[in-house]
Amino acid sequence: MFPEQFLERMQQMLGQEYNAFLESLQGKPCQALRLNSLKMGADGRNAAEAFGIRDETWEPGESGGPGEGAVKSFARLERVPWTENGYYYNEEAHPGRHPYHQAGLYYIQEPSAMAVAELLEAQPGERILDLCAAPGGKATRIAAEMKGQGFLLCNEIHLARARALSENIERMGVVNACVANEQPGRLAEIFPGYFDRILVDAPCSGEGMFRKNPEACGEWSPENVAMCAERQKEILDCAARMLRPGGRLVYSTCTFAPEENEETISSFTERWGEYEMVSIDRKRFGLPDGGEGPYLRLWPHRIRGEGHFAAVLKKAGDQEPGCRRGSGNGVLKGLGERELGEFPAFCREALLRMPVPEGKEDSRPLFLRFGDNLYLAPPEMPGLEGLKVVRPGLHLGELKKNRFQPSHALALAMSPRDAVHVWNLRAEDEETAVYLNGQTFPAQGEKGWYLICVDGFSLGWGKLSAGIMKNHYPRGLRSVR
């Protein structure tokens, strides 16, 4: 099943642990999800708080969850020890089919992969780059740490994957991120010394995912490992140019190959003398070797997760307080109120508050327009000239003749407390399935736009007229029963 040359190398690397490692690859991959602390409910609690998990596990029937639907669907959640809000779920659960998934209450993510964003230690108000961000698990975790403050640039070189990344940024209600589809070298030209923190979750040979993705075995070869290592060096060199003095760089892969891991980092520090390794406390990851060290290796026979590698580096120097380097494109200038069309009228009719990214006290909302689509960008967002941008910020909606059509992204970024009209559904009710299928349903109330919610969390838009709630759930997301 596994390439012979791969097995020979792993036996040399692991020695007496090799048989345990090989046995682990025959087992089933672990499944986990990360609760979304950005998603705010009607009662003011975020999704992580609403699930009410106080101990290491959550058993069926325990109080504190957002609804009986969650208890019945997930049956048991058990904490992933190295990350906040990460939980293993049982084999019988299907969280991807639950309305809470569509509402962005959680992100389904491989448990070992959750460790990487923890090492970045993102802070609110910073400028952060996720250079190889698709499909978005690590980027959305970084966004949760930023709490809507600062600027997050999520980049992916492959367009199809960049679009999937954009969809996950939208689903998780992130308001301060821009999604780009650029070559790392092009970004390095525009953002020299710009970012406070950079994550390079580098494309690799994928050995750590052999158990989860058997197709990766067929694509493996020593030549592919060497090719990946060369590509990783190029990506790291670009990242090195974009980090400010004193900034933090996290490098990670999902492979076991030393060529792509320790050797790549050793070569990097030789080329870039201003970077030094930051020691990692391995005790927090429950590893038997414990203690601190320059690298983090997660092995499937030692933990409940797949194979991962990570290293943390710091750039020498420091940034003077209040002094931040600008981008090569300068600062983006937004639209004036006269250019917003019918959007202000929609706000007066449907919103009590708009989910605005937080900036300086005197910063004003930064609106952008691409064709008929209106976006809200993070404050102090750099100019986008010459960049391939998939999503320049929070998509607010579409400017149509004499009216404004709100976007699904706006709904998912909102709390029920932000809307004038709210229609709440329960996850286990048939009416919720009807809505997710794109059908209308009878309703009584004032006519106009309604934020449709599930158990107190926003799910999409509806528009009430003549006793019928017209469905505005996106066609591409509708489920068919």
Active-site amino acid positions:
254
Q: Do the strands 127-130 and 195-201 form a parallel or antiparallel pair, or are they unpaired?
A: parallel
* 182: number of Cβ within 10 Å: 21
The span from the CA of 99 to the CA of 445, in Å, is: 24
Apex 318 CA angle, 115 and 174, nearest 5: 40
Residue 76 to residues 28, 109, 293, 426, 429, Cα–Cα distance (Å): 18, 17, 34, 20, 21
> Could you write out the three-class secondary structure of the chain?
CCCHHHHHHHHHHHHHHHHHHHHHHHCCCCCEEEECCCCECCCCCEHHHHCCCCCCEECCCCCCCCCHHHHHHHCCEEECCCCCCEEEECCCCCHHHCHHHHCCCEEECCCCCHHHHHHHCCCCCCEEEECCCCCCHHHHHHHHHHCCECEEEEECCCHHHHHHHHHHHHHCCCCCEEEECCCHHHHHHHCCCCEEEEEEECCCCCHHHCCCCCHHHHCCCHHHHHHHHHHHHHHHHHHHHHEEEEEEEEEEECCCCHHHCHHHHHHHHHHCCCEEEECEEHHHHCCCCCCEECEEEECCCCCCCCCEEEEEEEECCCCCCCCCCCCCCCECCCCCHHHHCCHHHHHHHHECCCCCCECCCCCCCEEEEECCEEEEECCCCECCCCCCEEECCEEEEEEECCEEEECHHHHHHCCHHHECCEEEECCCCHHHHHHHCCCCEECCCCCEEEEEEECCEEEEEEEEECCEEEECCCHHHCCCC
* Cβ–Cβ < 8 Å for 93, 103: no
What's the CA gap between 242 and 222, in Å, rounded?
A: 31
